[in-house]
């Protein structure tokens, strides 16, 4: 019986989509949502920089400044269309936007010098949600989901090396990608005002294969020459997420919610062209390491607290 129930939920998940209701929806409604995120974000670009620099015997410390507040987070809407067909409560379609910015700083060490490094970073992603709500009881809902996620990252770094050799450097990295993700959510009403919820992204890419672009350019001027590292290719990712929290009605149709969020987006470049030069000479070891650092699996890791509101417009 348990195996049959799990199989049923998986099948439903494969053909349905995402909802972030966090409270029962009455009739046809447009639920508007906005939140702020307070927590940490570590980008996959941190590890890629580490492995790219290690070939030059330069050791990067962990990037500092990963914690912060993101005000424009989970901003968007879901439209719910009531069905009332047995346990099938409604179908829905929505769009949510997320924005994270960080200013990272770190030091690096090489045999006879110190690197002072900093960079501005931005992560944007949008989720298109499509799915249904299953209501096996009046106060419990199961929310299978399918999410089409589009994401992009930009990083612009400035480097100063003090020692032998000394250098000035600039680093620009951009990534973008789209992927289909599958998951499921659960909601339990404690009473007419309070709801507990959990939301999971389980695996991907599914149906929509992950596609995107990866570009990395690092240029340094030394006191005895110059160097250039370059990589360009495809970019793929998938996401695993857990969100647990609660919401409460503070005014008619207006809910306040708080949740703990933890998400890992595992990403890598796909078939990049990678090159490393010192002056007009091709650095074969550096080229290999630039390729390896681009194509290795690394994670964009986010964890923290999300606080926001939802408001229902009956249609």
Q: What is the mean predicted confidence (pLDDT) over 101-122?
A: 97
Average per-residue pLDDT for the chain: 90
Burial 141-158 (b: 16+ CB within 10 A, else e): bbbbbbbbbebbbbbebe
Cβ(72)–Cβ(22) below 8 Å: no
Q: What is the mean predicted confidence (pLDDT) over 281-291?
A: 94
Cβ(216)–Cβ(176) below 8 Å: no
The yes-or-no verdict on residue 102 having pLDDT over 70 is yes
pLDDT at 22: 65
Confidence bin at 120 (pLDDT 50/70/90) = very high
The string of DSSP letters for the chain reads -HHHHHHHHHHHHHT-------SPPPSSEEEEEEEEEEEEEE-HHHHHHHHHHHTTT-EEPPPB--EEEEEEEEEEEEEEEEEEETTEEEEEEEEEEEEEEEEEEEEEEETTEEEEEEEEEEEEEEEEEEEEEEEEETTEEEEEEEEEEEEEEEEEEEEEEEESS-EEEEEEEEEEEEEEEEEEEEEEESSSSEEEEEEEEEE---SS--EEEEEEEEEEEETTEEEEEEEEEEEEEEEEEEEEEEEEEEETTEEEEEEEEEEEEEEEEEEEEEEEEETTEE-HHHHHHHHHHHHS-EEEEEEEEEEEEEEEEE-
Contacts of 70 (CB under 8 A, 6+ apart): 36, 37, 38, 98, 99, 100, 101
For the chain, what percent of residues have pLDDT higher than 90?
83
Q: What structural domains and CATH numbers belong to the chain?
A: 1-314 (2.40.128.90)
Report the interhelical angle of 284-295 vs 44-54 (nearest 10°).
160
pTM of this structure: 0.88
- Alpha carbon distance 267, 246 (integer Å): 30
Q: Give per-residue pLDDT as tens, 127-172.
A: 999 999 999 998 999 999 999 999 999 999 999 999 989 999 999 9
The yes-or-no verdict on residue 16 having pLDDT over 70 is no
Higher-confidence residue: 19 or 224? 224
Cβ(105)–Cβ(80) below 8 Å: no
Residues linked to residue 28 through DSSP beta bridges, in sequence order? none
Tokens 């690096």, residue located: 108
Q: Give per-residue pLDDT as tens, 194-231.
A: 999 999 998 889 988 888 999 999 999 999 899 999 99
Rg for the chain, CA atoms, rounded = 23
- Alpha carbon distance 246, 268 (integer Å): 34
Q: Give per-residue pLDDT as tens, 224-264.
A: 899 999 999 999 999 999 999 999 999 999 999 999 999 99
């Amino acid at each position: 019986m348990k195996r049959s129930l799990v199989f049923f939920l998986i099948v439903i998940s494969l053909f349905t989509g995402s909802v972030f209701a966090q409270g029962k929806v009455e009739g046809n409604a447009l639920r508007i949502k906005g939140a702020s995120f307070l927590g940490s974000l570590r980008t996959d670009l941190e590890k890629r920089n580490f492995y790219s620099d290690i070939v030059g015997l330069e050791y990067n410390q962990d990037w500092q400044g990963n914690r912060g507040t993101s005000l424009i987070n989970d901003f968007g809407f879901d439209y719910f269309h009531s069905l009332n067909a047995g346990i099938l409560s409604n179908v829905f379609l929505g769009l949510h936007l997320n924005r994270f910015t960080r200013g990272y700083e770190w030091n690096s060490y090489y045999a006879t010098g110190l690197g002072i490094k900093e960079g501005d970073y931005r992560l944007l992603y949008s989720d298109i949600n499509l799915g249904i709500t299953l209501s096996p009881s009046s106060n419990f809902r199961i929310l299978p989901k399918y999410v089409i996620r589009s994401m992009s990252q930009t990083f612009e770094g400035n480097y100063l090396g003090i020692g032998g050799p000394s250098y000035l450097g600039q680093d620009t990295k951009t990534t973008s990608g789209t992927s289909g993700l599958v998951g499921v959510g659960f909601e339990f009403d404690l009473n007419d005002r309070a709801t507990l919820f959990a939301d999971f992204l389980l695996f991907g890419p599914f149906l929509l294969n992950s596609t995107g672009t990866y570009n990395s350019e690092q240029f340094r001027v030394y006191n005895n020459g110059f160097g250039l590292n370059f990589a360009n290719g495809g970019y793929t990712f998938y996401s695993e997420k857990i969100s647990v929290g609660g919401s409460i009605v503070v005014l008619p149709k207006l809910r306040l919610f708080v949740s703990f969020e933890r998400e890992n987006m595992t990403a890598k470049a796909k078939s990049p062209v990678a090159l490393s030069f010192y002056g007009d000479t091709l650095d074969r070891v550096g080229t290999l390491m630039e390729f390896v650092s681009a194509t290795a699996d690394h994670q964009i890791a986010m964890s923290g607290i999300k606080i926001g509101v939802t408001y229902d417009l009956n249609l």
